[in-house]
A and B are shown apart, each in its own frame.
Chain A
């Protein structure tokens, strides 16, 4: 039986890798991949904690929800990235600084 702390460490690592990717990558797609990492870290936590849940399968159910939502979020994000590319002719976030106005 694998102890809970192992799951949590793995998920923390995943989250940190995702965070790192979000903060450092020069490509919007890669940032999106980082976000997926972070979502998956959360999903892993759901599943791991679901073992201790009184309602059977509650954690797994939420994990499935989260995966669906993440897929929808990725679809929207990819559409935004496409539009950003259309507008700026680049998807490097460090070159797009129009948010400050």
Chain B
């Protein structure tokens, strides 16, 4: 009895966590223009405090599953409820925590915007959908929130919708996500037709339906029904496609760099903890459904995405685009880790990445913000997001600089940083996994190592160009005048910097196994190879040191070493592997052509048919008009005329004179007589 009351209580608290941002969405939209900052911040803060409370309640304890009946289809009852286990409490804490920081940051960053109330409202909706997504206990609810995340990201990316490029980016993000949504929906449908339930605990729990179902002689058999084995793979792939779109995996990643058209704080929120994490979260939630084939696909796609995005990040010049590709690359790491079965490492990396990527974006945001103000004050003319013209900002912006450096070191995986723990954990697991595979799979860990070296180089390039090198378009003195962002923004950077260091996650800076977070999901699948545990980080970090030094030489010292921007690789990378062009020619152009054909068809065939039928109908109506006038009316008029004539004729008999009546009578009698006797 007490058990039930307790879970009801926790369920209500978690409901409050997700509903508070929704309230701020509704209230702010209903409220006055330009208001809502405080309301949004208060709501999300309460939400965060409650999530932390839940976190300490649930973490490493009995998961809580509280549900109520939702609706009935036939004899299958759907239930709605919350499922709080380690994964979901970690995620709500992460999401609401990052959201609070982004809210605080946005108060200053978005201060001058006229439509700020819309911004707060959309943020509320976004947090609501993301929090709802992570605590929902069945696939249908998750799908609902999944769609809401897509929709609210569309609103946020297109926040400056008056700029055509932003509204284009929003549309692109939405459409790309729709492709993934279809995958997710197909997955749900397959799961439902196999198991007749969408409840996550029942399906994917320890002794859940998916785990107890088996594949035998080409059939996928569950307790009650069976279908061909291939449907298991299709279901896995369908879920993976859903995750691919949200988590920006190749080939559905192109929306994410374009999404940089939204406000930087939004990019930070989308990238760090919320939207892109949703895909990884989904994979983690439905993990048992993936069969080896899908897992291998996941490994390949994750590794390829990580590598490709890193190469593109090498060549980009827009500070936010570099970070966007960096996100894609890191998501590739996570997806690859999930594919090899390193479930806990992947979630661990998700958490550490959330903090350092948020910090990277917010630091970049303050650089952009300060440059923007400086440019407006001194009426200069330059692109405030282009790292080629930046430089020398180290002196005037120490907080931003240090924050950026800490976040970068976490991204690189330098010792003592949080990234060192999680990223090297993934790499070590990749090597351990590859040890039991052959063929192309042995290549995977090496690709990941190369990718992480590429990561080192592109992020060093960014840091050195922005903070060290000589600025273009303004003098070094001018650059040194640019100050740190206002306090509210800088404090956020400081808080986030703390989470980029090892002690937020583990007491031992060199062993991910001692991390509390990793422990919470422990799923040690592989034979531990001790050699890897010290050799891989060592080799990685030697390479890292060399690369950072090289980048320093190239971008700061400028002593003869420079990278030509003429070679074919650079062109290939800066064009983002020509994927946008490829999609253009593969999808957009054919669709445009097809729609032109349809347009032509519409104009020339359908319209012509319509016009022809109009002519036909007018001819028909003219004919029927004629018939009506001449035949029908004519008949009626003839009858009338006839009656009138007969009336006139017979009137003549009615003279009123006696003798005329007598004559008439005589004639009638005579005519009867004649008729009777002579005819």
Determine the residue in chain B with the shortest Cβ distance to A22: B662
Q: Tell me whether A94 and B666 are in contact (CB under 8 A).
A: no
The A49-101 residues at the B interface (CB cut-off 8 A) are 93-94, 96-101
The A1-31 residues at the B interface (CB cut-off 8 A) are 19, 22-24, 31
CA distance A31 to B657 in the complex (A): 13
CA distance A19 to B663 in the complex (A): 10
Residues of B within 8 Å of A98, CB to CB, are 656
CA distance A93 to B662 in the complex (A): 12
- Rounded to whole Å, the gap between the CB of B673 and the closest CB of chain A is 14
Determine the residue in chain B with the shortest Cβ distance to A97: B656
CA distance A31 to B654 in the complex (A): 20
The interface on chain B, measured as residues whose beta carbon lies within 8 A of the other chain's beta carbons, has a size of 10
Q: Quick one: which of A23, A24, A31, A99 contacts B656, CB cutoff 8 A? A: A99
**Could you mark each residue 306-333 of chain B with 1 if its beta carbon is under 8 Å from any beta carbon of chain A, else 0?**
0000000000000000000000000000
Q: Tell me whether B662 and A97 are in contact (CB under 8 A).
A: no
The B628-675 residues at the A interface (CB cut-off 8 A) are 654-659, 661-663, 666
CA distance A101 to B654 in the complex (A): 9
Q: Quick one: which of A23, A100, A101 contacts B662, CB cutoff 8 A? A: A23
- Rounded to whole Å, the gap between the CB of A39 and the closest CB of chain B is 15
Residues of A within 8 Å of B654, CB to CB, are 100
Residues of B within 8 Å of A31, CB to CB, are 659
- Rounded to whole Å, the gap between the CB of B91 and the closest CB of chain A is 107
Q: Tell me whether B656 and A100 are in contact (CB under 8 A).
A: yes
Q: Tell me whether A93 and B656 are in contact (CB under 8 A).
A: no
CA distance A73 to B657 in the complex (A): 21
Q: Tell me whether A100 and B655 are in contact (CB under 8 A).
A: yes
CA distance A31 to B658 in the complex (A): 11
CA distance A22 to B654 in the complex (A): 18
Residues of B within 8 Å of A97, CB to CB, are 655-657
- Rounded to whole Å, the gap between the CB of A90 and the closest CB of chain B is 13
Residues of B within 8 Å of A100, CB to CB, are 654-656
Chain A interface main SS type: helix
CA distance A98 to B656 in the complex (A): 6
Residues of B within 8 Å of A96, CB to CB, are 656-658
CA distance A23 to B663 in the complex (A): 7
CA distance A96 to B658 in the complex (A): 8
CB contact under 8 A between A101 and B656, given known A19-B666, A22-B662, A23-B663: yes
The B192-248 residues at the A interface (CB cut-off 8 A) are none
CA distance A28 to B455 in the complex (A): 140
Q: Tell me whether B657 and A99 are in contact (CB under 8 A).
A: yes
CA distance A99 to B666 in the complex (A): 18
- Rounded to whole Å, the gap between the CB of B72 and the closest CB of chain A is 86
Q: Tell me whether B661 and A94 are in contact (CB under 8 A).
A: no
- Rounded to whole Å, the gap between the CB of B604 and the closest CB of chain A is 76
CA distance A82 to B655 in the complex (A): 23
Q: Tell me whether B659 and A93 are in contact (CB under 8 A).
A: yes
CA distance A98 to B649 in the complex (A): 20
**Could you mark each residue 415-447 of chain B with 1 if its beta carbon is under 8 Å from any beta carbon of chain A, else 0?**
000000000000000000000000000000000
Residues of B within 8 Å of A93, CB to CB, are 657-659
- Rounded to whole Å, the gap between the CB of B330 and the closest CB of chain A is 114
CA distance A59 to B661 in the complex (A): 32
Residues of A within 8 Å of B658, CB to CB, are 93, 96, 99
Residues of A within 8 Å of B662, CB to CB, are 22-23
CA distance A94 to B666 in the complex (A): 18
- Rounded to whole Å, the gap between the CB of A63 and the closest CB of chain B is 23
Residues of B within 8 Å of A23, CB to CB, are 659, 662-663, 666
Determine the residue in chain A with the shortest Cβ distance to B663: A23
- Rounded to whole Å, the gap between the CB of A84 and the closest CB of chain B is 10
Determine the residue in chain A with the shortest Cβ distance to B657: A97
CA distance A52 to B166 in the complex (A): 131
Q: Tell me whether A99 and B661 are in contact (CB under 8 A).
A: yes
CA distance A99 to B654 in the complex (A): 9
Residues of B within 8 Å of A24, CB to CB, are 659
Determine the residue in chain A with the shortest Cβ distance to B653: A100
- Rounded to whole Å, the gap between the CB of A77 and the closest CB of chain B is 12
Q: Tell me whether B659 and A22 are in contact (CB under 8 A).
A: yes
Residues of A within 8 Å of B659, CB to CB, are 22-24, 31, 93-94
Determine the residue in chain B with the shortest Cβ distance to A100: B656
- Rounded to whole Å, the gap between the CB of B666 and the closest CB of chain A is 7
CA distance A24 to B662 in the complex (A): 11
CA distance A31 to B663 in the complex (A): 13
CA distance A50 to B655 in the complex (A): 41
Determine the residue in chain B with the shortest Cβ distance to A95: B657
**Could you mark each residue 54-67 of chain B with 1 if its beta carbon is under 8 Å from any beta carbon of chain A, else 0?**
00000000000000
Residues of A within 8 Å of B655, CB to CB, are 97, 100
CA distance A96 to B655 in the complex (A): 10
CA distance A6 to B606 in the complex (A): 98
Residues of B within 8 Å of A94, CB to CB, are 657, 659
Determine the residue in chain B with the shortest Cβ distance to A19: B666
The B431-481 residues at the A interface (CB cut-off 8 A) are none
- Rounded to whole Å, the gap between the CB of B314 and the closest CB of chain A is 119
- Rounded to whole Å, the gap between the CB of A93 and the closest CB of chain B is 5
- Rounded to whole Å, the gap between the CB of A99 and the closest CB of chain B is 5
CA distance A99 to B662 in the complex (A): 12
5 residue pairs bridging A and B, Cβ less than 8 Å apart: A23-B659, A24-B659, A93-B659, A96-B656, A97-B656
* A-binding residues in B (CB < 8 A): 654-659, 661-663, 666
* B-binding residues in A (CB < 8 A): 19, 22-24, 31, 93-94, 96-101
8 closest A-B pairs by beta carbon, nearest first, are A100-B656, A97-B656, A93-B658, A99-B656, A97-B657, A100-B654, A23-B659, A93-B659
Given A23-B666, A96-B658, list of 19 further CB < 8 A pairs?
Answer: A19-B666, A22-B659, A22-B662, A23-B659, A23-B662, A23-B663, A24-B659, A93-B657, A93-B658, A93-B659, A94-B657, A94-B659, A97-B657, A99-B656, A99-B657, A99-B658, A100-B654, A100-B655, A100-B656
